[in-house]
Structure 1
Amino acid sequence: MKKICILLAFLVIALSCKKDNKPDSIETVKEKEQTLITSFDHTKIKKHLYTLASDEMEGRATGTPGIEKAAQYIENEFGKIGLNFYNNLTSYRQNFEYDKVKMFNIIGVLEGRSKKNEYVIISAHYDHLKMKKEGKDRIYNGANDDASGVTGVIALAEFFKTRNNNERSIIFICFTAEEIGLIGSKYFVKDIDASNFVAGINLEMIGKEAKFGPRTAWLTGFEKSNFGQLIQQNLEGSGYKLYPDPYKNYSLFFRSDNALFARLGIPAHTFSTTSIDLDPDYHKVTDEPETCNINALTEAIKAVAIGISSIVNGKDTPTRIK
């Protein structure tokens, strides 16, 4: 009788383990993803935005004390998150010189598990404009352009690090000197092996609601690869919608840091929410943190996390840009 009881106990344990090891359904996986996405800290996102766009940063123009302060802030956040350094760098800075001006991209890496030599880029530019020589308000704070994007990069780095199940490596880059000619991204791509780069999503001006309404965004160069379609598929059921770039006359696909990757065939696109044709604060001193919508910013960051999940996980690979 004792032997029978022992056998029954083992049988119960075995059946229990078998049940626990049963693969989750697609619906269950999506539910778990949605639960993880709610972990974005609204307060922390506001802190990043308000710090990077504060008067103390003096507009974050390239080569100024203000951009040095911004760089240090981003480096500190990457350090707290626990990102690795890029390639052979000994810090998060990729230093270089252009026209006798010392510049630096800020780069952190989260190594992938099974496909660590395949890279997904999440980027934004952290520079903005020089202060005005005179006037009551001389500082171009650059809250939406592009402290909002940098906030997204930091928040996504923390999210994916906490999640810690990315199969592909993720490179988080805050580029310098975008405003004066995409100089930081030009320097970064000059020595890379493009075949190792699977995709790039560049966050540009994501601090306001899009023309399509709440919980919507648009993607530049939508027709140039199927990256946007993959994001749309992953966003199904989330309540967030992604649209093709509605501002074709502005040639925005070629005007931000994604362009340097796209020229190498990498499916790299810019994700944005701002009505660029109607925004009263674009490249104005009025681009202050208070003009941004923290809820819209948070929702945009969540949408990116969901939208690129299947690419980061190694399930999907976007088509190359010809």
Structure 2
Amino acid sequence: MTNIKLALLLLACGFTATAPAQDLAPITQDETTRIVSTLSADAMQGRASFTPGIEKAADFIQNEFQRVGLKPLPGEDDFKQTFSMYRVLPQEQEVKLNGKDVKPELVFAITDNKELEWTNNGKQKVMTVGAQDDFRAVLSELNNATQDVLVLVHPKHKDLFSRYQHYVSSGSVKKELGQSASKVFVLTDQAKATKYEVEVENKIEQLQLTNVGGMIEGKRKDEYVVFSGHYDHIGIQEPVAGDSIANGADDDAAGTTAMMMLADYYKQQPQPERSLLFVAFTAEEMGGFGSKYFSEQLNPDQIVAMFNIEMVGKPSQFGANSAYLTGFERSNLGTLMQQRLQGTTYSIHPDPYPEQNLFYRSDNATLARLGVPAHTISSVQIDKDKTYHTVKDEVSQLDMEHLTNMIKAIALASEGVVSGEDTPTRVDKSQVRQ
């Protein structure tokens, strides 16, 4: 009888049997605003990789982890997980096609070699992208090329060709050199390359990248739960109304802020059952190199789940206090999160934008390829958002109440995994695109 009366009293007060017992008071809007405003300030210069701005952001995150009282990641001496990469910067590109010089603005090359010198000796494959062909599909196909390729692109594709050329001109980042097939693209109305000469010269620099990570050791110290967000962005862009800094407030200062707030929150709780890793990844915008390096430092079989957080500063299409999970169907992590949120004002939904391939466009994909239940939590309406990768992605565009509530929602939704009560199913590696 006492239990029935207590249940009735709880219902009358607006509680349910699944209502959270956690105290979310440490997650405040003021603190959320402080962190996200700092990360997306003009002083960070858009946090592009290999710039003073991202180094300043890394220092700020490290200082916050120290203040909270985290420990370094397993195997690390401090909070900065630094590694080397190669940056490849195009210098000169000369092409002579069928006896005639091609203007430099009609050429771009994708290569990790310092130099290329080609003549029509049969070693390179020659492809033609005709007026009616799908240039995007060809580019995608060539990602897996194993032979050097000279690609003749019809002038009808001039606009897309120019966009790719501009993108490639800023350089690329490689873990190793000379390991991939080279591709040289020429915009031309010629459908055959009876004779050709190609010369390409790149500048190669060995530079450092840095993840920033900390840990709360759990009772089961070798079972890991990862909370992450990428702290890099795209830096300085062409000025728009005098503004050239792409601040990256939603992408992904918001997600990084959520990860940092969760570190502070969980540090104030009793020791968790599983060890919690909090990581700010670098170089997500350049190909996910930070998460790739991180994944190589741990045994993926010991990683129980990854809550990657990306662009959670604006309400989702599902309304206030809601978000979606990319790759929802690939494990039951999303279902476990939904169960934990029952009886609350928060909700998590399957990704409503499957055509956008969001599952593969953030750092979760690296660990998912290793079988980890690794998903990205997001709320951005990616099909409508006008500030994505622009200088308009500023803190003034964020909904601070929503962002703060998203952090609270993730704290509630992750509790079962953190406490060891919930263990999500593994991702089928054979079903994840490499």
TM-score clears 0.5: yes
- Corresponding residue number in structure 1 for 2:281: 175
Give the letter for the 2:21 counterpart.
K
Q: Which moved more, 1:36-45 or 1:240-249?
A: 36-45
- Corresponding residue number in structure 2 for 1:91: 78
- Corresponding residue number in structure 1 for 2:54: 67
| Alpha-carbon distance in structure 1 between the residues aligned to 2:296 and 2:21 | 39
| Alpha-carbon distance in structure 2 between the residues aligned to 1:44 and 1:150 | 13
Task: Note if contact 2:20-2:412 (Cα within 8 Å) is conserved in structure 1.
Answer: no
- Corresponding residue number in structure 1 for 2:382: 276
Q: Between the two proteins, what is the percent identity of the paired residues?
A: 44
DSSP 3-state at the match of 2:349? strand
Task: Note if contact 2:282-2:290 (Cα within 8 Å) is conserved in structure 1.
Answer: yes
Closer/same/farther in 2, CA of residues 251 and 224 from structure 1, 3 Å limit: same
Q: Which of 335, 340, 355 pairs up with 1:234?
A: 340
- Corresponding residue number in structure 2 for 1:223: 329
Task: Note if contact 2:217-2:271 (Cα within 8 Å) is conserved in structure 1.
Answer: no
Question: How far is the alpha carbon of 1:194 from its aligned partner?
Answer: 1.1
Task: Note if contact 1:165-1:313 (Cα within 8 Å) is conserved in structure 2.
Answer: no
Give the letter for the 1:299 counterpart.
N
1:124-273 pair list within 5 angstroms? 124-135=229-240, 136-273=242-379
Cα deviation per residue 1:265-285 (whole Å; 9 max; x = unaligned)? 000000001100100100010
DSSP 3-state at the match of 1:231? helix
Q: Flag as ranges the 4+ runs of structure 1 deviating above 3 A.
A: 26-31
Give the letter for the 1:171 counterpart.
L
Q: Which of 208, 226, 246 pairs up with 1:121?
A: 226
| Alpha-carbon distance in structure 2 between the residues aligned to 1:312 and 1:78 | 19
Q: Which of 69, 88, 96 pairs up with 1:82?
A: 69
TM-score of the pair, normalised by structure 2 = 0.66
The total of aligned residue pairs comes to 294
Which ranges in structure 1 are unaligned for 5 or more consecutive residues?
1-25
| Alpha-carbon distance in structure 1 between the residues aligned to 2:336 and 2:367 | 19
| Alpha-carbon distance in structure 1 between the residues aligned to 2:21 and 2:414 | 15
Question: How far is the alpha carbon of 1:191 from its aligned partner?
Answer: 3.5
Kindly indicate whether residue 41 of structure 2 is the aligned counterpart of residue 54 of structure 1.
Answer: yes
Task: Note if contact 1:95-1:102 (Cα within 8 Å) is conserved in structure 2.
Answer: yes
Task: Note if contact 2:84-2:209 (Cα within 8 Å) is conserved in structure 1.
Answer: yes
Task: Note if contact 2:18-2:343 (Cα within 8 Å) is conserved in structure 1.
Answer: no
Rg (Cα) greater in structure: 2
| Alpha-carbon distance in structure 2 between the residues aligned to 1:28 and 1:296 | 25
Give the letter for the 2:246 counterpart.
Y
| Alpha-carbon distance in structure 2 between the residues aligned to 1:187 and 1:119 | 17
Question: How far is the alpha carbon of 1:164 from its aligned partner?
Answer: 2.5
| Alpha-carbon distance in structure 1 between the residues aligned to 2:246 and 2:226 | 27
| Alpha-carbon distance in structure 2 between the residues aligned to 1:191 and 1:117 | 13
DSSP 3-state at the match of 2:277? strand
Give the letter for the 2:228 counterpart.
S
Measured on the aligned residues, the alpha-carbon RMSD in Å equals: 1.4
Question: How far is the alpha carbon of 1:166 from its aligned partner?
Answer: 1.0
- Corresponding residue number in structure 1 for 2:30: 43
Give the letter for the 1:130 counterpart.
G
Task: Note if contact 2:18-2:342 (Cα within 8 Å) is conserved in structure 1.
Answer: no
Give the letter for the 2:84 counterpart.
E
- Pick the structure with more helix per residue: 1
Kindly indicate whether residue 291 of structure 2 is the aligned counterpart of residue 304 of structure 1.
Answer: no
Q: Which of 397, 402, 405 pairs up with 1:291?
A: 397
Which ranges in structure 2 are unaligned for 5 or more consecutive residues?
1-14, 87-205, 429-434
Task: Note if contact 1:124-1:204 (Cα within 8 Å) is conserved in structure 2.
Answer: yes
Task: Note if contact 2:70-2:215 (Cα within 8 Å) is conserved in structure 1.
Answer: yes
| Alpha-carbon distance in structure 2 between the residues aligned to 1:152 and 1:305 | 10
DSSP 3-state at the match of 1:171? strand
1:5-24 pair list within 5 angstroms? none
- Corresponding residue number in structure 2 for 1:32: 21
| Alpha-carbon distance in structure 1 between the residues aligned to 2:335 and 2:371 | 17
Cα deviation per residue 1:161-194 (whole Å; 9 max; x = unaligned)? 0013310000000000000100101111124211
| Alpha-carbon distance in structure 2 between the residues aligned to 1:247 and 1:32 | 33
- Corresponding residue number in structure 2 for 1:15: none
